[in-house]
Every structure is written in C-alpha cells, then in structure tokens.
C-alpha cells in the first residue's frame, strides 16, 4: 500500500469553501486541471472527469463515487483492471479558524501492481495539487 497526502490552505471559511468545491460543474471555470466533471454523488455511481494531463495531454478518469461526509468529505475510487490496483481519493475541507480552512486530499493505493506503477500513479495523483491551488486562488479575497 502507498499513500500520498496534499494540503492546501484556503482563505475562506470551511462552509464557503465547501460550497464552491461541491459545484463540480464549475471546476473548469476556475481550474486548470479539470476540463469537465460529471456524475452524481450517489454511492457506486461512476463519474467522468476529463483532465489536462502532463504536458497538456488530455486524460480521462472514470472513478466511482464512494461516499459524502460526514462533514465536508468526498471519496472516490478508481481501479486499474479489477485486481491490479485500487486508488481511493478523499477530498476533505477542514476549518482552521473563522475565516480560513484547508483542503486535504488523501490518496491510498493498494493492489499487486501498485509498487511497480508507483512513479506513474504518484505523478498523476500529485497533479491534483493544481486543483487545490486553483480552489485557493478562486476563494482568495480580491
């Protein structure tokens, strides 16, 4: 099993940041990574996320929605083949104080091919730091 954590400070209260983050159809308006995000927040429902991959190449993810909450949390799961690798991506927004919060992203990768695929998996997961940076920019007061 491998793990990657990303943390992005946000200049907005947690509830306000969560409201912006939950509007996944608007992600392309303020972000560079996600070109489109479509899906229902229903456990087991498959999403389609069109991304701008490394060096500007298009990439598509088809994660399954796993859970929402408790609190400000979304969980997605992606599998490479059904047995080779399982990736769980958790988004969480936690309050820091009355006027700020933090986006925490956690990736947990498991399965027999995780170790040999880790450099490729890590690079793809690390790209999601852009989503956090763009959310922070979107929430920054002018």
Residues above pLDDT 70, as percent of the chain: 99
Q: Which two tokens stand for residue 40?
A: 């229902």
Q: pTM (2 decimals)?
A: 0.93
Measured distance between the N- and C-terminal CA atoms of the chain, rounded to whole angstroms:
42
With H, G, I as helix, E, B as strand and everything else as coil, classify residue 89: strand
Q: Please check whether residue 16 is in contact with residue 1, taking contact to mean a CB–CB distance below 8 angstroms.
A: no
Q: For 20-40, how does the pLDDT look when each residue is reduced to its tens digit (9 = 90+)? A: 999 999 999 999 999 999 999
């Amino acid at each position: 099993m491998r793990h990657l954590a990303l943390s992005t400070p946000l200049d907005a209260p947690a509830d306000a940041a969560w409201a912006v983050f939950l509007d996944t159809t608007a992600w392309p308006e303020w972000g560079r990574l996600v070109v489109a995000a479509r899906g229902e927040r229903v456990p087991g429902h498959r999403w389609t996320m069109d991304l701008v991959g490394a060096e500007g190449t298009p990439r598509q993810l088809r994660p399954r929605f796993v859970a929402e909450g408790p609190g400000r949390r979304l969980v997605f799961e992606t599998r490479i083949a059904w047995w080779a690798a399982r990736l769980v991506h958790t988004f969480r927004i936690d309050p820091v104080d009355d006027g700020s919060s933090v986006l925490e992203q956690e990736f947990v990768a498991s399965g027999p091919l995780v170790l040999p695929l880790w450099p490729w998996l890590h690079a793809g997961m690390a790209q999601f730091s852009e989503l956090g940076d763009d959310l922070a920019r979107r929430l920054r007061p002018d």
